[in-house]
Structure 1
Amino acid sequence: MSMLQMERESLIEEIMRLDVLDTHTHLVGERLRARDFWEIAHYFWLNKEMQAVGYPKQATELPEDERIAAFLKAYRATRNTLMNWVLTQIFKTLYGIELKDEQSIREADAAVRASSEREGWAQLVADRLSIQAFVTNIPEHAAFQEMRRSAIVIPRIDGKLNEWVRTIGQAEEPQQQFKAIQDELKQLLLSYNQMGCPGIMTTLPGYASSANDSYSLSKASTPDQILMLLLHTVCEIAEQNDMLVQLFLGVERSWCGTAVPVNDPQRILKLSALFDRYACRFELVVASELNNLDVVQAAWNFPNVHVGGLWWFNFRASTYRDCMQYRLEALPSMNSSLIASDARCIEWSYGKILLVKRLLGEFLYERIQSGWIDRELAIEVAKAWLYDSAAERYRFHNS
């Protein structure tokens, strides 16, 4: 190994040891661990890729030997994808198993079943990459069993937000109904604040309305106009209570039977009046590739705007590299977080963070070699992007 290769691997190894805060998961405290091989192998994104090369959608209904054969065929056909790499590394580094034939799949299944019964397994997996904390959006899921600490709770309100929009739109007296919902919204956020939640999270669909326009409520008001009025209320209450507003954007579900990414060039622009008017912090998480620069520009313009991890369709090496370059050039490192695993079991949180840490190490090493930063600054940036920024924003103390 050459000196340059040794320096590169040394930096990656140091980054692998840095603390992490996983800012978005679907982990459930009472069942953090995968229960069998298939719970890991059937992760949504990996399955989408394998189904593209013929893996059956109803694979769970196949006899075990047929399912293994179908899985191996699709697994080999997707060896070039990042999700395949993550799955491979999960079993290679956590279980010491190379997925290559029917016997190895059966060994992997036995290993996962054993780890699902192993006391402390979830904490052990987290410790392998120094994952210090996780975020959940459902308060009932926050009690992480057999781990040192429970999850950070940032409750999601999109279900209620959509319901409120419909209720106001259908009301005989929209203004009166809006006032009642404002009071309900205030009480809801106050209850979250008293629970110690640092803020709230919501996804947003595409919207034709804009936060800089003034809308008068009437029976003719559109759902998008009502939504924007409610967002003003959310931000006003968040400002009064020093709470974070976390916005997840770029995934649309109204065009067909599956979610798709939409690169709306005005998506962030239409929200900018919220960033300008309210002093609460905003965290922007996007799933649409072309909006990655827009959120950086928003954070550059508005000191209370932070950029979050890469979500859904953004989880690609090329997208990470572009985003890291945008952020390194334009933003203080404490205004950006990199990790949002979207994992449903601890093993996938580990696998996706393993990938992001490697990509981060490679990116920062290239910046060092180009002379733009030195190693000390590279580690400082990595610490902020992986942990410090989110910990400060969520008021999390690792003790």
Structure 2
Amino acid sequence: MSLHDRSGKQAAFFERIMGLPVFDTHTHLIGDRLGARDFWEIAHYFWFYRELQAGGYPDEADKLPEEERIPAFLKAYRSTRSTLMNWVFTSIMRELYGVTIKDEHSVREAMVRVRHASAEEGWAQQTADRMNIRRFVVNHPEHAAFQGMRDDAVLIPRIDGVLGPWVDRIVQSNDPARTFLDVGGEIDLLLGGFREAGLPGIMTTLPRYESSSHIRKEIGPASGRDDILMELLHVLCGAAARNGLLVQLFLGVERSWCGTAFPANDTERILKLTALFESYRCEFELVLASELNNLDAVQAAWNFPNVHVGGMWWFNFRASTYRDSMQFRLEALPANKSSIIVSDARSMEWSYGKILLVKKLAAEFLWERVLSGWIDEETALHTANEWFYASAMRRYGIRSEDQT
């Protein structure tokens, strides 16, 4: 095959990857304000803001008058031009608004265009359609009604807001065993209500834990927090199995060591949960924020038919970790065991931009596998469709004409 022919086939392959449907499996989108209302909501998105700060952007930049904020932003923007979120932000400005950020005039032009777009009826749906993002997950009931969109969000309730207080109640109780049983009853009622509402599952983050799910502990006055947490996880998983609910576990972010969230690799993090995977017939989805646990999650999904690997979360959202994780998944798992997209976006524009990046990374990775002879194009496209969309649709029990 000539270089020209190969280049043409690659371009056609990339175009097909870019056109595939997408399920964004974890967002912070709010249904009545899906699009950014001004330029700074996009420019100050948490992930990009962190990189800008590393590039010299001042603390509380949002409080500066614009005549000071814009030059400070431009200086930090130029200093971060090699970073991943700079690439995404630049792509958002270029692809959605037709603006190349280079000077104060271009920033002010972007401000006008973002403001005008935010007032357009249907802007959020148009933005999603440009990347063929079909569905989104949110974790709060009040966020799920997506105004101006064809479909509401899929609600997977977040329960870490009650899981911690449950542990606190048992620790502080004069009768921990009795309180543990009471909490178990509350869990049954809560998850039964989710089943009756037709929800697909529950989501929770977990802190670092010393206890292991394969060592069962009777709860009493001497029980420590980690043992109580692990026994509550047994109760939760049992209730999820009885109610046919998925359990999403978001792992790898620690918040108790300092004033900010930080990634924490732990070689036993997933190992300590494997008795849950083995004991309960509910489906599990593992979403990771720590690089070194990516292979552990794939091993768990390889060993347990009810375990799936979810998207790249928090500090795992890096081009390098994506490539490694895609290789782990491709060689060890059927494609229907994986979803790879977690935008964590707070506006539709950042969902668009981060998924643009993931599609580009997946297209590059899969094309390399095709060229090296490990897979053919049909397998590559099937894999991408499962990773982007189809596996999540099945996992969350949503029917679509696109499912195969």
1:95-152 C-alpha deviation (Å, 9 max, x unpaired): 1110111011111111111111100000000000110000000011000000001000
Q: CA deviation at 1:4?
A: 2.2
1:172 partnered with 2:174? yes
2:43 aligned to which of 41, 44, 58: 41
SS for the counterpart of 2:308 is: strand
Q: Which residue of 2 aligns with 1:140?
A: 142
2:343 aligned to which of 325, 341, 344: 341
Q: Which residue of 2 aligns with 1:30?
A: 32
Kindly provide the amino acid, as one letter, of the partner of residue 69 in structure 1.
Answer: P
1:32-82 C-alpha deviation (Å, 9 max, x unpaired): 010000000001111111101210111111110110000000000000011
Q: Which residue of 1 aligns with 2:191?
A: 189
How well do the aligned residues superpose, as a CA RMSD in angstroms? 0.9
Q: Which residue of 2 aligns with 1:53?
A: 55
1:271 partnered with 2:273? yes
Gaps of 5+ in 1: none
SS for the counterpart of 1:2 is: helix
Q: Which residue of 2 aligns with 1:283?
A: 285
Q: CA deviation at 1:10?
A: 1.6
Shift in alpha-carbon separation, 1:398–1:57, aligned structure 2, 3 A: farther
- Residues 132 and 398 of structure 1 are in contact (CA less than 8 Å); yes or no, is this contact kept in structure 2? no
1:198 partnered with 2:200? yes
Aligned-pair identity (%): 61
1:239 partnered with 2:252? no
1:364 partnered with 2:366? yes
Q: Which residue of 2 aligns with 1:117?
A: 119
Q: Which residue of 1 aligns with 2:4?
A: 2
Question: Partners in 2 of 1:92 and 1:260 — Cα distance?
Answer: 31
- Residues 8 and 362 of structure 1 are in contact (CA less than 8 Å); yes or no, is this contact kept in structure 2? no
- Residues 241 and 281 of structure 2 are in contact (CA less than 8 Å); yes or no, is this contact kept in structure 1? yes
Q: CA deviation at 1:8?
A: 1.8
Q: Which residue of 2 aligns with 1:375?
A: 377
Q: Which residue of 2 aligns with 1:250?
A: 252
SS for the counterpart of 1:134 is: strand
Question: Partners in 1 of 2:4 and 2:316 — Cα distance?
Answer: 33
Larger displacement relative to structure 2 (214-223 or 37-46): 214-223
SS for the counterpart of 1:285 is: strand
1:231-272 C-alpha deviation (Å, 9 max, x unpaired): 001100111111100000000011111111111000000000
2:395 aligned to which of 379, 393, 396: 393
Gaps of 5+ in 2: none
- Residues 206 and 249 of structure 2 are in contact (CA less than 8 Å); yes or no, is this contact kept in structure 1? yes
1:44-123 alignment, distance < 5 Å: 44-123=46-125
1:128 aligned to which of 117, 125, 130: 130
Q: CA deviation at 1:6?
A: 2.3
SS for the counterpart of 1:290 is: helix
Kindly provide the amino acid, as one letter, of the partner of residue 84 in structure 1.
Answer: N
Question: Partners in 1 of 2:262 and 2:11 — Cα distance?
Answer: 37
Question: Partners in 2 of 1:12 and 1:94 — Cα distance?
Answer: 20
- Residues 34 and 112 of structure 1 are in contact (CA less than 8 Å); yes or no, is this contact kept in structure 2? yes
TM-score (norm 2): 0.98
- Residues 55 and 77 of structure 2 are in contact (CA less than 8 Å); yes or no, is this contact kept in structure 1? no
Q: CA deviation at 1:7?
A: 1.9
SS for the counterpart of 2:380 is: helix
- Residues 28 and 345 of structure 2 are in contact (CA less than 8 Å); yes or no, is this contact kept in structure 1? yes
2:220 aligned to which of 215, 218, 221: 218
Q: CA deviation at 1:159?
A: 1.0
Q: Which residue of 1 aligns with 2:354?
A: 352
Q: CA deviation at 1:3?
A: 2.6
SS for the counterpart of 1:186 is: helix
TM-score (norm 1): 0.99
Question: Partners in 2 of 1:80 and 1:2 — Cα distance?
Answer: 30
Kindly provide the amino acid, as one letter, of the partner of residue 180 in structure 2.
Answer: F
Kindly provide the amino acid, as one letter, of the partner of residue 97 in structure 1.
Answer: V
Q: CA deviation at 1:397?
A: 2.3
